[in-house]
């Protein structure tokens, strides 16, 4: 396999490129470039400025010109004749790694039954967790067990929303208790920063915590 451009003497490259263009496009550089999808400026660079074709360009020339790469690099082109029919590159295809592997057949009635069992559980789980549990991708669940999949997803969303609302309620109660303790000690109030410092790590993780603190303080102090 080629890993670098062929090493050709500078005085041998331009005559070879001219022979290539003459053989493959009757000496017409523009037609040669367009026919084999080279840039016109690139071909001009090969001919006039010391440029060399890329490995891909050499392969294109050899393939469409029907000439062996070794002969091309050695400038053995005296008896070179273009093929009458366009050359097609044949690549050997590697055997698929799945060759001989039978596709898994899924029992969708059994899968739907398992999903309904999941729906009856006390604590909802997400559709991703359900998919992992039954061993089927989430996309396939929505395609083949849409009713059960949607029910699991909806139930989990409602559960998360309920948990979020409960956490907010617990937070507001704790803020109120902290404020009452501070007022009982004779203080005029409590700052949002002091409230936040007094809360445990879990409670601090409630989204928008300072907005909730400000709302409770406003309700209780004014």
- What is the CATH number for 52? 1.10.260
Is residue 115 located within the same domain as residue 217? yes
| pLDDT (average), residues 205-209 | 86
Per-residue confidence at 93, pLDDT binned at 50, 70, 90? low
Is residue 216 located within the same domain as residue 132? yes
Residue ranges making up the domain that contains 120: 108-221
Q: Could you give the residue ranges of the DSSP H alpha helices within the chain?
A: 10-25, 29-35, 40-48, 55-65, 69-73, 108-119, 127-134, 138-144, 146-184, 192-198, 201-204, 209-221
Is residue 212 located within the same domain as residue 157? yes
Is residue 169 located within the same domain as residue 217? yes
pLDDT of residue 96: 59
Is residue 66 located within the same domain as residue 116? no
Q: What is the pLDDT of residues 153-180, one digit of tens each?
A: 999 999 988 888 888 898 899 998 888 8
Number of domains in the chain: 2
> What percent of the chain is modeled with pLDDT above 70?
85
4 belongs to a structural domain: no
| pLDDT (average), residues 41-69 | 87
Q: Could you give the residue ranges of the DSSP H alpha helices within 26-104?
A: 29-35, 40-48, 55-65, 69-73
Query: Rg (Cα) of the chain, in Å, rounded?
Result: 38
Per-residue confidence at 10, pLDDT binned at 50, 70, 90? very low
17 belongs to a structural domain: yes
5 belongs to a structural domain: no
Is residue 212 located within the same domain as residue 155? yes
The answer to pTM > 0.75 is no
Is residue 211 located within the same domain as residue 139? yes
* Rounded distance between C-alpha atoms, residue 62 and residue 34, angstroms: 17
């Amino acid at each position: 396999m080629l890993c670098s451009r062929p090493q050709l003497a500078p005085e041998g490259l331009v005559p070879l490129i001219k022979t290539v263009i003459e053989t493959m496009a009757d000496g017409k550089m523009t037609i040669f470039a367009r026919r084999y999808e080279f840039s016109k400026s690139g071909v001009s660079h090969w001919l006039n400025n010391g440029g060399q074709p890329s490995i891909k360009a050499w392969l294109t020339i050899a393939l469409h010109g029907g000439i062996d790469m070794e002969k091309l690099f050695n400038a053995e082109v005296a008896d070179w004749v273009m093929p009458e029919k366009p050359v097609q590159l044949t690549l050997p295809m590697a055997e698929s790694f799945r060759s001989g592997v039978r596709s898994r057949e899924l029992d969708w009635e059994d899968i739907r039954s398992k999903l309904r069992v999941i729906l009856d559980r006390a604590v909802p789980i997400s559709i991703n967790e359900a998919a992992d549990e039954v061993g089927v991708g989430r996309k396939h669940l929505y395609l083949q067990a849409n009713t059960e999949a949607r029910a699991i997803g909806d139930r989990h969303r409602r559960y998360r929303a309920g948990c979020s609302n409960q956490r907010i309620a617990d937070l507001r109660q704790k803020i109120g208790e902290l404020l009452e303790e501070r007022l009982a000690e004779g203080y005029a109030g409590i700052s949002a920063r002091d409230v936040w410092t007094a809360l445990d790590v879990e409670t601090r993780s409630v989204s928008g915590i300072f907005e909730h603190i400000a709302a409770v303080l406003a309700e209780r102090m004014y």
